[in-house]
Chains A and B, each alone.
Chain A
Amino acid sequence: MPQSAAAQVPLIALEGVGKWYGAYHALKNINLTVKKGEKIVLCGPSGSGKSTLIRCINHLEETQEGNITVEGTTLSDSSRSIDAVRREVGMVFQSFNLFPHKTIMENCTLAPMRVKGVSKAEAEATARKYLERVRILDQADKYPAQLSGGQQQRAAIARALCMEPKAMLFDEPTSALDPEMVKEVLDTMIGLARDGMTMICVTHEMGFARQVADRVVFMASGEIIEEGPPETFFSNPQHQRTRTFLGEILAHH
């Protein structure tokens, strides 16, 4: 793959994005571009707007200012643009959000069948491929409640991958997990990153950030305070708020 040429194309671009919840200014003038294959880690104190930011990218939240463009489609209120963006972008949630009344296999095949209109056999073949990749193919016929938290999150990752998205958004994917299960999910995400998936991860796992991130973006009070490659971000943070945050978060690791 001509890495350098592909790297020029921004897959996701946010320009001057602003969001309010009533009078509360949740996102302030956010500018962020993500190139194909880039891995971004978003971090910051709770309430800093990092989850809100990635939820705006696939229009789970509406924005009031600026533009969000994904693979050439600029998000608007039109369902056509929302559909187009959601087809390209997969999402993994903190609380997994698997469909509890469906088996893992059915969780994985529902959207491809309903949205892309592929046959059941084809959807199942795709699902098996991705369930194998997250190493839970043997759990395919179980219901979510029968799986451990780590297995559920890996199933949720497989479900998102079944739509064959160009980019993946991770919203604190390991925050709801017991400590011993964090690693299996992070390993899955590292594998995805190695395979070249474009990723934006909201996470407090700084080890993960060091290992896979091309850029670490630090947010506070709805603003991007600073961003940089992990080496410089961790060793030489520019802003006082970043230093305070890193001091707090790294003290626990």
Chain B
Amino acid sequence: MASIGPNELFFLMQGLKWTLALTLVGFIGGGLFGLIVALTRTAQNDLVRRTTTGYIAVFQGTPLLMQLFVVYYGVALMGFNVDAWVAVAIAFTLHASAFLGEIWRGGIQAVPKGQTEAAKALGLHYVSMMKDVILPQAFKISLPATIGFLVQLIKGTSLAAIVGFVELSRAGQIVSNQTFRPLTVFALVGVIYFLICWPLSLWGARVERRLSTASR
């Protein structure tokens, strides 16, 4: 049985790097599209609103794993030769935007109606009303749920292993196969995930407490 030395640890850290990179891509892409989703979900136009509602239903109602498959193989079937990075970035962006969009939609609708009315009465247009008045308040309200989703997303990136990504979980599997020490290796991998996710969860809980005392 081989031992777990600096080389194995270095390999795991390489995997961690990809985990974080995938999370970042998913969160930024999902955040940008999620903002559009949230805005269209709260739009006046019926057709626009229903289209987005359908989009959210599809991506919240199917497993992320399946979404990864569909994008990875689907894009290839359509004749495009994309590398795994692009496929995974698209899949995570679609997935995250459906969830973040719905979280932020709730935040937008939780901002008191009087804020919209005051902005309108002052003559502000939609863009300024959203950017300067509604969204800053909506994001604050949504922050705990947003952090919660970020934690889900970090762990969800492990599914990218299925299309050939050597992220943290897959790296752990490889090291485990080489060293025949699955318990030690996966315990180590688990600790790494935990050390990233737990502080985020704590932060989310703290923000939530602060918000609930502020609204009392």
Contacts and interface: CB of A to CB of B under 8 A. Distances in A.
Contacts, number: 61
Contacts of A163: 122-123
Given A93-B114, A114-B128, A99 B133 contact: yes
Contacts of B114: 93, 95, 97
Contacts of A97: 112, 114-115, 117-118
B118 A115 contact: no
Nearest to B214: A145
A159 interface: yes
A111 B137 CA distance: 17
A58 B132 contact: no
B117 A159 contact: no
A249 interface: no
B200 to A, nearest CB: 23
A96 to B, nearest CB: 8
A101 interface: yes
Given A100-B137, A101-B136, A114-B132, A91 B121 contact: yes
Contact of B140 (A95, A99, A101): A101
B117 A86 contact: no
A60 interface: yes
Given A93-B118, A97-B115, A99-B118, A110 B136 contact: no
Contacts of B122: 86, 90, 110-111, 115, 159-160, 163
B182 to A, nearest CB: 50
B123 A115 contact: yes
B121 A87 contact: no
Report whether over half of chain A's contact residues are helix, strand or loop; otherwise say mixed: mixed
Given A100-B137, A101-B140, A110-B132, A58 B115 contact: no
A170 to B, nearest CB: 12
B124 A115 contact: yes
Contacts of A59: 120
Contacts of B137: 99-101
Nearest to A112: B122
Contacts of A58: 120-121
Contacts of B115: 97, 99
Contacts of A86: 120-123
A87 B122 CA distance: 7
Contacts of A87: 123
A83 interface: yes
Nearest to A86: B123
Contacts of A93: 114, 117-118, 121
A99 B118 CA distance: 9
B123 to A, nearest CB: 4
A94 to B, nearest CB: 9
Nearest to A111: B122
B140 A60 contact: no
A206 B122 CA distance: 28
Interface string A46-57: 000000000000
A73 B125 CA distance: 19
B117 A60 contact: yes
A86 B118 CA distance: 11
Nearest to B117: A60
A160 B118 CA distance: 9
Nearest to A145: B214
Nearest to A85: B123
Contact of A110 (B112, B120, B124, B140): B124
A132 B35 CA distance: 39
Interface string A119-150: 00000000000000000000000000000000
A230 B140 CA distance: 48
A156 B132 CA distance: 17
A110 B137 CA distance: 16
Contacts of A111: 122-124
Given A99-B115, A100-B137, A60 B121 contact: yes
Interface of B: 112, 114-115, 117-118, 120-125, 128, 132-133, 136-137, 140
Given A93-B121, A99-B133, A99-B137, 7 more contacts: A60-B117, A90-B122, A95-B112, A101-B140, A115-B123, A115-B128, A160-B122
12 contacts: A93-B117, A93-B121, A97-B115, A98-B118, A99-B133, A101-B136, A101-B137, A111-B124, A114-B128, A115-B123, A115-B124, A163-B122
